[in-house]
Each structure stands twice: as C-alpha cells, then as structure tokens.
C-alpha cells in the first residue's frame, strides 16, 4: 500500500454509523467501506439498512457493510442497539453519531412535542449511545490509534439561522458543545471526538428544498462555493478523521459547508 493509501486507510476497523441508509450517514458509510472498514448500519427502517448494506457490498470495495434495525430515540432502543452491536463484534473502533431529525414551523405555532422529539434523537440519543458504547470503543484504543467518534452537527449549530427549525439549531449547537466537552475528557481514554458541521447536502431531511435539480441549483446558488455538498465531501472527511491521518485531531467542529459558516453580508468600508 502506498503512503497516502495507508495514511487514510481504515482497513480492519469496525464502525457503527447510525442513520446510514440515507443521506449523509450513507455517504460516511460509503467512505468507510471504500477505505476497508466493516461498517454496521443501523436505523429504524431495518429493511432499508439491509438494502443499503447490500449495495455497499456490491461496490467491490475493500470493506463490508451490514444493516439492521435500531431506534436511538428511547433508552430501550439504545440498549437494544448496543446488544445488537455486541452480538456482531467485541470491539468498535469508530462511532458515527449521524441519526438525526428536524422540525420546521413558524415560531408562533412551534409544537411543544416537536422540541422534545428533535432534542431526544439529536442530543439525548447521541449522548447515551456514546456512553453505552464506551467500553467497546476503549477496548482496542491506543495512543497510536485512538478510537474515533464523529458527531453530526450542522452549520445551523454554528450560525444563528433557524429557518423555522428552532429545536434543530439548538440541538446542533448542543452537539457541537458536547463534542468539545467529551473530547476534553476522552483524551486519556484514547478516543477522539469530533463533529461535522455540514452545509446543505441532498438527503431525506433536506428533500423539501433539494429534491429536484431546480431546487438543488437554487440552494447551490446561495452557497459561497456555488454548489451543494457531495458524497466525496463527507466520505473524505470521514476517512481523514477515522484513519491514521486524523489520529491527533480531537475537539474539532469541521465545517463541510462550502464556506457558509464564514460567509456574512457585512461590509465595514466598501459597498
Ligand atoms: N443534509 C444536510 O444538509 C445536513 C446538514 C447538516 C447536518 N445534517 C445532519 O446529518 C445527519 C443525517 O441527516 P440527513 O440530512 O442525511 O437526513 P436523512 O436522510 O433524513 O437521515 C437521517 C437518518 O437518521 C435516521 N434516524 C432518524 N431517527 C432515528 C432514530 N430514532 N433511530 C435511528 N435512526 C434514526 C433515519 O433513518 P430511519 O428513518 O430509518 O430511522 C435517517 O436515515 C443528521 O444528524 C442531520 O442533522 C444534515
């Protein structure tokens, strides 16, 4: 294996990616399978996870995938997911906390239940799944090759823009802060903790605004880089953080947003 291939390889590692039958989770899982990892894909729709795993296995890549049902919105669901992971592997090198939900409504009409629903999956589920999986993550973690946790934040957790998704933006800001908090504690456990803060990518969650080519082009036209995100953007960042290349990186909130997080309309001296 050449130097670069080896540096970014995740060969032989076992990963769990929640919510990976669709969207950004699937992009992360694709990168990991291409990089040589064995990837467990879990979300509520077990059939969809199995189908995507079969598609990833058909890529002829160095790694493999397996899919099954799991629900991170309840304590029981998290416990069942942990048991399922334990039944398949005794060690876990990579955890991608990707499962997430959103809700958009006018401020005056924002439903009480929608606040709890979003925080429950995006923050509570992420925290408790991570906590429950710590022994498996620590098992083979070392100074030279720490275990990796990648949480899904968002540019909406960095920039004050809600677009009606009030609980979502609050949840993603919480994910960013929790990422830094856990990173500060997990160094001595030999686990890195980082977050992605993506801008717009096509997915089920963003289908209301990106499903058609016309909609996607409209969103792209407002991005400083002139496009929306692609599979390679997530796959590349995932491989970086989860391979030897990223083993000294922890506590980072990585913008994968074409510049949205540093873009503002302010001008001090020029029109
Ligand atoms: N797309 C974007 O532009 C964007 C930007 C920034 C951040 N993000 C973040 O990226 C992550 C993935 O979102 P996405 O955009 O790819 O949307 P998506 O296609 O809707 O993916 C979300 C995934 O989460 C799973 N999920 C939802 N509730 C779950 C639960 N209770 N238990 C287990 N799995 C659950 C869903 O699968 P099931 O329905 O089968 O459970 C689905 O596969 C989210 O955390 C999102 O906030 C997305």
Rounded average pLDDT over 16-26? 98
154 and 163 Cβ atoms separated by less than 8 Å:
no
- Per-residue pLDDT, 1: 85
Q: What is the full DSSP assignment across 41-75?
A: EEES-HHHHHHHHHHHHTTT-SSEEEEEE--TTSH
pTM confidence score:
0.98
Q: In this structure, which topology does domain 3-257 adopt according to CATH? A: Rossmann fold (3.40.50)
pLDDT above 80: residue 247: yes
Ligand 1 atom, smallest distance to 21 CA: 43
What are the boundaries of each domain within the chain? 3-257
Residue 43 structure tokens: 């979300």
- Per-residue pLDDT, 265: 82
Q: Is 73 in the pocket of ligand 1 (CB under 6 A)?
A: yes
Per-residue pLDDT tens for 82-101?
A: 999 999 999 999 999 999 99
Q: Is 44 in the pocket of ligand 1 (CB under 6 A)?
A: yes
Q: What's the CA-to-centroid distance between 122 and ligand 1, angstroms?
A: 9
- Per-residue pLDDT, 267: 87
- Per-residue pLDDT, 142: 98
Q: Within the chain, where are the H helices? A: 3-7, 23-34, 46-57, 75-88, 112-119, 126-139, 166-186, 207-210, 213-221, 231-242
Residue 43: exposure state from Cβ atoms within 10 A (0-12, 13-18, ≥19): buried
* Ligand 1 pocket mutation, candidates 17, 149, 205, 229, criterion most atoms within 8 A of CB: 205
240 included as an active-site residue: no
* Ligand 1 pocket mutation, candidates 18, 20, 24, criterion most atoms within 8 A of CB: 24
């Amino acid at each position: 294996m050449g130097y670069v291939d080896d540096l970014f390889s995740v060969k032989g590692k076992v990963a769990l990616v929640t919510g990976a039958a669709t969207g950004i989770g699937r992009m992360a899982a694709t990168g990991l399978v291409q990089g040589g990892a064995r990837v467990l894909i879990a979300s509520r729709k077990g059939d969809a996870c199995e189908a995507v795993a079969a598609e990833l296995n058909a890529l002829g890549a160095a790694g493999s995938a397996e899919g099954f049902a799991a629900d991170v919105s309840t304590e029981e669901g998290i416990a069942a997911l942990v048991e399922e992971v334990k039944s398949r592997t005794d060690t876990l090198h990579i955890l991608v906390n990707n499962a997430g939900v959103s809700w958009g409504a006018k401020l005056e009409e924002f439903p009480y239940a929608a606040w709890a629903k979003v925080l429950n999956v995006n923050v509570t589920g992420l925290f408790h799944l991570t906590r429950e999986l710590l022994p498996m993550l620590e098992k083979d973690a070392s100074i030279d090759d720490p275990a990796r946790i990648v949480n899904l934040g968002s540019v909406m957790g960095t920039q004050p823009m809600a677009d009606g998704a009030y609980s979502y933006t609050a949840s993603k800001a919480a994910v960013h802060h929790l990422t830094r908090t856990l990173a500060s504690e997990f160094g001595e456990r030999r686990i890195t903790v980082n977050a992605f803060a993506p801008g717009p990518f096509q997915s089920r969650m963003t289908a209301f605004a990106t499903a058609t080519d016309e909609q996607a082009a409209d969103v792209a036209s407002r991005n400083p880089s002139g496009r929306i995100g692609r599979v390679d953007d997530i796959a590349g960042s995932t491989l970086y953080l989860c391979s030897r290349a990223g083993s000294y990186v922890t506590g980072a909130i990585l913008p994968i947003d074409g510049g949205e997080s540093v873009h503002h309309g302010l001008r001090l001296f020029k029109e």
